[in-house]
Amino acid sequence: MKKSIIPALLILLTLPAVAQKRVQEIGIFLGGSYYTGDLNPNGHFNSLTKPAAGVAHRFSFNDRFTLRNAIYFGTIAGDDARSASFSQQQRNLSFKSRIYEFHSVAEFNFLEYEIGDEKRMFTPFMFAGVSAYNFSPKALLGNQWVGLQQLHTEAQSKPYKLTQIAIPFGAGIKTMLAERIGLVVEWGLRKTFTDYLDDVSTVYANPADIALYGGAAGLALADRSTSSDPISNIGRQRGNPRTKDWYSFAGVTLSFKLKEKEKRCSSYNY
């Protein structure tokens, strides 16, 4: 994880060295969020994509480099019943989780860009950085959504952490709409370091061990397969521990350029 974070931090640290003209923007993000993992291995922008929103602040050091700090929130979900895979349908697991994220990323504009300048009113861009996010997978038990982490559905000796670090990166386009208004379209992936966004990772555990931690609710939600004999599933693959889960945000930001402070000549500044 440290090797992945270092390059992103280096980008952020080198931005002030190329500073020329500093411009600030505040924006509102609207779009969608989704995850890819054991319960949605290949699904980008499918029926499991949920609404997302957020706010962002951009600090442009010059026409090419921008530092973005933002808070995004959305929902991720997975459902074996919607899969075309027969083995997933038999497993019959599902979940949903809210995602709350704070990220700090460096944006690089391929073309010179500044809101209010008709000569620099469009550019593709890419971004990368670091984010902290919070999640909490839940599953439906009867008519109630139940948190899964505390149930130890795979008989984990220690619960996984619900607040973690991820590496966001992606690309998009920026375009000027008016003198102080711009539009940003982006798609960003988040590389996480957990396999438990969906509460699924390894094998079916012994029901006695699950009951020790999660009681009746843990037993009911750990194995929801269509098998008539849950005991026969012990030790069988429940998830794929060799790959980590990912989540994504995609959407548009309406960005407003903040009024620049007037610079006064020091000769008249008494």
> Residue 174 is encoded by which pair of tokens?
């920026």
How confident is the model over 186-230, as pLDDT tens digits? 999 999 999 999 999 999 999 999 999 999 999 999 999 987 676
* Mean pLDDT of the region 71-80: 97
Asked if the model's pLDDT at residue 6 lies above 60, the reply is no
Q: What is the mean pLDDT of the chain?
A: 90
Asked whether 153 and 137 are in contact (CB, 8 A), the reply is no
In angstroms, the CA 217 to CA 207 distance is 11
Q: Which has the closest alpha carbon to 239: 270, 197, 179?
A: 197
- Boundaries of every domain in the chain: 2-258
In the chain, what percentage of residues exceed pLDDT 90? 83
Q: Is 46 left (phi over 0), alpha (psi -120 to 50) or beta?
A: beta
How confident is the model over 27-70, as pLDDT tens digits? 999 999 999 999 998 889 999 999 999 999 999 999 999 999 99
In angstroms, the CA 31 to CA 51 distance is 6
Cβ-based neighbour number of residue 169 at 10 Å: 16
In angstroms, the CA 145 to CA 153 distance is 15
Asked if the model's pLDDT at residue 4 lies above 60, the reply is no
User: What's residue 17's pLDDT?
Assistant: 45
User: What's residue 226's pLDDT?
Assistant: 87
CATH class of 2-258: mainly beta
Ranges of beta strands (E only) in 110-219 are 122-135, 138-141, 144-147, 163-178, 181-191
Cα dihedral sign for 234, 239, 244, 246? negative
Query: pTM, whole model, 2 decimals?
Result: 0.88
Asked if the model's pLDDT at residue 105 lies above 50, the reply is yes
For 232, residues 6+ apart whose C-beta sits below 8 A from its C-beta are none
The helix/strand/coil state of 192 is: coil
> Residue 112 is encoded by which pair of tokens?
């010179």
* Mean pLDDT of the region 8-17: 48
| Exposed/middle/buried for residue 82 (C-beta within 10 Å: 0-12, 13-18, 19+) | middle
User: What's residue 10's pLDDT?
Assistant: 46
